[in-house]
Amino acid sequence: MKCVGVDTACGILHPNKTTLTAVSCGSVDCGHEDTNNNRIAIEWCNTPEGAAKQLHQTSETVSPARGDQY
C-alpha cells in the first residue's frame, strides 16, 4: 500500500539555490499494517563537470509546449 507521496522539482539545482520538497502521508491503520520499516530518504548527487550545460542545451531543443517527447 502506498501511503506517502512526494512532490519535488527535478533538474539541476544551481549552487546557493534552494528548493522545497513536499511530503504527504495518507492515513495508516497501525493495527493492520506493518509500520516498522517506514522511512523517507531524500538523496542528492553531484553531477559530472559540464552536465548543467548539457541539460540546459537539451531543454532548449525539446519543448513540451510543442508536444515533443522526452
- The H-or-E segment that residue 53 falls in is helix 51-61
Q: What is the pTM of this model?
A: 0.35
Give the model confidence (pLDDT) of 45-65 as tens digits. Answer: 777 777 666 655 555 554 455
C-alpha grid cell, residue 70: 522526452
pLDDT at 69 (0 to 100): 45
What is the C-alpha to C-alpha distance for residues 55 and 58, in angstroms, rounded to an integer? 5
Return the higher-pLDDT residue of 57 and 13. Answer: 13
Give the model confidence (pLDDT) of 19-48 as tens digits. Answer: 777 777 777 676 776 767 767 777 777 777
